[in-house]
């Protein structure tokens, strides 16, 4: 019962299409910055590089973004929104596992077609550079997943434990899958990818023999 993966739209969806060309400049800028930030890292990328790759003048960056950091945050949020939208596109009434799997697969499609967006959101060595608004967006993504998992817990599909924990666990495993998809290590139709999606679920699913290998003892002071 797959959602036929639909190729995700252009990224990032630029807010208000004003002049044809103005928008195009901003778009070129965003694309160039996204490429460079995700391939080289934020600090390793200079504004002259961005401008050169975008084919515009250095000063022009500041007609569209107030700073390099704001440019990063704007791109981050646009990318994160892509993934949040995927969540919202799933049926709220579907069973937990199915819904998570649908999300995972549509994220995978995004990562396949827009690897840099995936890298920015999930691989991100950029956490310390995010501004409050971006952190909010980041939290929104996490809490959407958390809500789904909380629902699954309520209906006994997810193991006991905090929904926050399971959301974090699930996201970590899915992040791995997305990174491997983004860097073309795992083609989307190969088993490794599906294995990871399954693993993410099994990590948090109920009804498994979970007898701990050993009881936990607190470490001494």
Partner DNA sequence: TATGAATGAGTTTTCATTCAT
Partner DNA sequence: TATGAATGAAAACTCATTCAT
Interface positions with its own copies (CB under 8 A): 1-2, 4-7, 40-41, 43-44, 95, 97-98, 101-102, 105, 108-109, 112-113, 124-128, 159-162, 165-166, 168-169, 172-173, 175-176, 187-189, 191-205, 207-210, 212-220
Binding residue for DNA (CB under 7 A) from 3, 5, 14, 22?
Answer: 22
Burial label for 168, CB within 10 Å (0-12, 13-18, 19+), is middle
- Does residue 61 bind DNA (CB under 7 A)? yes
The least CB distance from residue 163 to its own copies, in Å, is: 12
Give burial (CB, 10 Å; 0-12/13-18/19+) of 176. middle
CB of 49 to its own copies, least distance (A): 14
188 binds, among its own copies, DNA, none (CB under 5 to 8 A by kind): its own copies
Interface mask toward DNA for 70-99; x: CB under 7 A: ------------------------------
Q: What residues have CB less than 8 Å from 162, skipping those under 6 apart?
A: none
Residue 25 and residue 33: Cα distance in Å, rounded? 12
Yes or no: say if 180 and 193 are a contact pair by the CB < 8 Å rule. yes
| Residues between 30 and 59 that touch DNA (CB under 7 A) | 45-48, 56-59
Q: How far apart are CA 86 and CA 97, in angstroms?
A: 16
Least separation in angstroms between CB 208 and its own copies: 6
19 near DNA, judged by CB under 7 A: yes
DSSP H helical ranges for 121-214: 132-154, 163-182, 191-202
Q: Which is nearer to DNA, 21 or 189 (CB)?
A: 21
In the list its own copies, DNA, none, the entry touching 208 (Cβ below 5 to 8 angstroms by class) is its own copies
> What is the DSSP annotation of 49-116?
HHHHHHTS-GGGHHHH-SSHHHHHHHHHHHHHHHHHHHHHTS-TTS-HHHHHHHHHHHHHHHHHH-HH
6 vs 62, beta carbon nearer DNA: 62
For 82-109, b/e burial (b = at least 16 CB within 10 A) is bbbebbeebeeeeebbebbbbbbbbbbb
Which of the choices DNA, its own copies, none does residue 198 contact, using the CB cut-off of 5 to 8 A by kind?
its own copies
Nearest distance, CB of residue 117 and DNA, angstroms = 21
Which residues would be at the binding site for DNA (CB under 7 A)? 19, 21-22, 24-25, 45-48, 56-64, 66-69
């Amino acid at each position: 019962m797959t959602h036929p993966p639909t190729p995700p739209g252009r990224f990032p969806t630029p807010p208000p299409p004003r002049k044809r060309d103005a928008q195009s400049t901003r778009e070129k800028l965003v694309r160039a910055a996204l490429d460079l930030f995700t391939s080289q890292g934020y600090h390793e990328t200079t504004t002259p590089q961005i401008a050169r790759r975008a084919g515009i003048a250095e000063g022009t960056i500041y007609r569209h973004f107030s700073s390099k950091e704001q440019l990063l945050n704007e791109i981050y949020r646009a990318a994160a929104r892509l993934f949040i939208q995927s969540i919202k596109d799933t049926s709220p009434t579907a069973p937990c596992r199915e819904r998570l799997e649908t999300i995972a697969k549509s994220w995978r499609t995004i990562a396949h077609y827009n690897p840099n967006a995936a890298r920015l959101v999930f691989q991100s060595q950029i956490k310390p550079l995010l501004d409050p608004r971006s952190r909010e967006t980041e939290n929104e993504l996490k809490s959407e997943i958390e809500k789904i998992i909380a629902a699954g817990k309520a209906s006994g599909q997810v193991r006991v434990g905090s929904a926050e924990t399971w959301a974090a666990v699930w996201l970590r495993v899915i992040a791995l899958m997305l990174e491997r998809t983004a860097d073309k290590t795992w083609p989307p139709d190969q088993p490794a990818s599906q294995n990871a999606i399954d693993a993410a679920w099994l990590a948090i699913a109920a009804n498994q023999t979970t007898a701990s290998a050993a009881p936990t003892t607190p470490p001494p002071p």
